A = this chain, B = another copy of it.
Amino acid sequence: MNANSKPSGLDFLLAFNIGIEIQGWLMRFSNEAHNIPKRFHPPPVVGTMGSAAACAHLLSLDHSRSSHALAIAASLSGAPMANAATQSKPLHIGNASRLGLEAALLASRGLEASPLVLDAVPGVAGFNAFYEDYVLQPLGSPDDNGHMFLLEEQDMGVKRFPAHLGMHWVADAAASVHKLLVGGDHGTVSPAEVQEILLRVPQSKYINRPFPESEHQARHSFQFNACSALLDGEVTVQSFTPAAMMRPDLLALLGHVHVEHPHDNLANFNHMYAEVQVTLVGGDILRGRCDTFYGHWRNPLTNESLRKKFRNNAGAVPPSERVERLIEVLEELDRLGDCTHLLSQLQ
């Protein structure tokens, strides 16, 4: 885009692509980064860098200032995993956007940071401070012949409900057991009929919570999401309300859960799976398995599902006619020249 001109819809889409490209590549520099991590929560690490890159485009920064924007963003990146199951987790996401923008604005005013921040210089850590297995790799340039953007190679993963991504596998596996329970000879699920619930999920300490004590812990509990889907057939925004969390049937089911970590079930969003096996008091065993949940990049949401999610989430704030108008405008964003009206609608 030209300096000083207002960004068009296409500029916003290109900035989005640039942000995804940068944060996607940075995740490929470390196994620690793209496995379910133990030290740093990825969104405030790679996300701050992606936001800085996207904002550098929107601010029309030149090559040098864009490089400083990324380097400054590295100083504003990172948040420990322990806060990822608390109210502060959403703050990580918002801060990634905000602080990336701040880095780009500082760079636009001439602030400088290390041009080596992405290199792994021995004894002087840059971005690799966040990882123990960081290996810098050459990036292709969009000017190269045949350059493929990450978004061309891999679709977006989108959560259907607000919980840790890993919960979607166990929820879909448990939902398929729910169908067997209610559709088969067993009628509706009664916890009194359940003898054992066995979950086969990856080993990851921070999403293994037998009895979550808060809404945010529930969003990071294989056990809670499996039992909610067994009981209700799905997990939704409402599953995490205090009323839903305190249901005696749900608490009773939680008491029957056992967890196993098969060696072939890696804590990695590209390779993990979930199995749910319910043993009934009579001895019958019902099994469900999910390799690719609905919403995963290998099985992306349809536009209709995306619209449904947007209506559910956005509906709490602006009036519904404005939500519908936003959907119309966003679906034609690539053809929108002047975004002033759209931006004012979002405020």
> Residues of A at under 8 Å CB distance from B?
38-40, 44, 71-72, 74-83, 85-88, 91-92, 95, 106, 111-114, 116-117, 121-130, 204-206, 216
**A125 contact set on B, CB distance < 8 A:** 38-40, 80-82
- List, in ascending order, chain B residues with CB within 8 A of A78's CB: 77-78, 129
State whether A205 touches B82 (Cβ < 8 A): no
Nearest chain B CB to A103's CB is how many angstroms away?
9
Residues of B within 8 A of A40 (CB): 125, 129
Q: With the chains together, A283 CA to B106 CA distance in Å?
A: 52
Q: How far is the CA of A88 from the CA of B68 in the complex (A)?
A: 10
Taken together as a complex, chains A and B put the C-alpha atoms of A104 and B327 apart, in Å, by 37
Q: Which of B75, B82, B91, B122 is close to A124, meaning CB atoms less than 8 Å apart?
A: B82
Bound Cα distance A114, B205 (Å) = 15
Whether the pair A81, B129 counts as a contact (CB closer than 8 A) is yes
13 additional A-B pairs beyond A75-B95, A124-B206, beta carbons within 8 Å, are A39-B125, A71-B83, A72-B91, A74-B82, A80-B129, A81-B126, A82-B114, A82-B117, A82-B127, A86-B112, A86-B113, A87-B112, A91-B106
Of chain B, the residue at the smallest CB distance from A79 is: B75
Nearest first, the 10 closest Cβ-Cβ pairs linking A and B are: A123-B205, A82-B126, A75-B79, A88-B113, A80-B129, A82-B114, A39-B129, A39-B125, A124-B206, A87-B112
Q: How far is the CB of A344 from chain B (nearest CB, A)?
A: 27
Assembly CA distance A88 to B44 (angstroms): 19
A65 to chain B, nearest CB (A): 13
* Interface hub of A72, A80, A130 (most chain B Cβ within 10 A): A80
Q: How far is the CA of A125 from the CA of B79 in the complex (A)?
A: 10
